[in-house]
Chains A and B, each alone.
Chain A
Amino acid sequence: AQTVTQSQPEMSVQEAETVTLSCTYDTSESDYYLFWYKQPPSRQMILVIRQEAYKQQNATENRFSVNFQKAAKSFSLKISDSQLGDAAMYFCAYRRGNRDDKIIFGKGTRLHILP
């Protein structure tokens, strides 16, 4: 069975600094997708970034980038120039390559931004 592990329940970072959230996953599949979702206090799930397993290049979205290490099954999220609005719960997630498959979430990392 596929699993997603986030070993950091909480993290803090100074505003404008860079922070990295860790995630590891376990799967025997070769075709899959990895995601980072942000959940602010409103509790809506917002997709931050997505990585296709077949792509070697790490995904980047503005201040958000990932370090995808396929052999190590590691998928970390780097947030550069942290802003107060980045404070939220961040979930790492996995989905097999089948288009109708469910998303499996990690337990989340709560990120605090210190002004």
Chain B
Amino acid sequence: EPEVTQTPSHQVTQMGQEVILRCVPISNHLYFYWYRQILGQKVEFLVSFYNNEISEKSEIFDDQFSVERPDGSNFTLKIRSTKLEDSAMYFCASSGYDANTEAFFGQGTRLTVV
């Protein structure tokens, strides 16, 4: 069964450092998303991406964040200068062309900023 793959599963970084979270969406999907879940809290939408551009972004997705699909298969989330409050689980998701298809989530990357 096709799946969304995220790497790394856990990343520890120092405050102020840049991190790149990587995702390989399902191959024939066209819509890509990043969500964030701070420990014990709800899952929050960060950004959606379609046709090589951002479709929608939330208030959380400020200038410190960027997304890219560099090679047609990977989908990355970059945080330029990490803050302690960026510590969270980050989920990538993808969905297909048909509105009836649900979003498939990756297993998540746990980001810890120290």
Contacts and interface: CB of A to CB of B under 8 A. Distances in A.
A42 B95 contact: no
Given A45-B43, A45-B91, A91-B43, A103 B103 contact: yes
Interface string B91-102: 101010111111
Interface in A98-112: 98-108
Contact of A45 (B55, B105, B110): B105
Given A45-B91, A45-B105, A103 B45 contact: yes
Contact of A102 (B41, B42, B56, B91): B56
B36 to A, nearest CB: 11
Contact residues of B: prevailing secondary structure: strand
Interface residues of A, number: 25
Given A45-B105, A103-B103, 19 more contacts: A33-B102, A35-B102, A42-B107, A43-B89, A43-B108, A43-B110, A44-B105, A44-B106, A45-B91, A99-B95, A99-B98, A100-B31, A100-B50, A102-B48, A103-B35, A105-B42, A105-B44, A106-B42, A107-B42
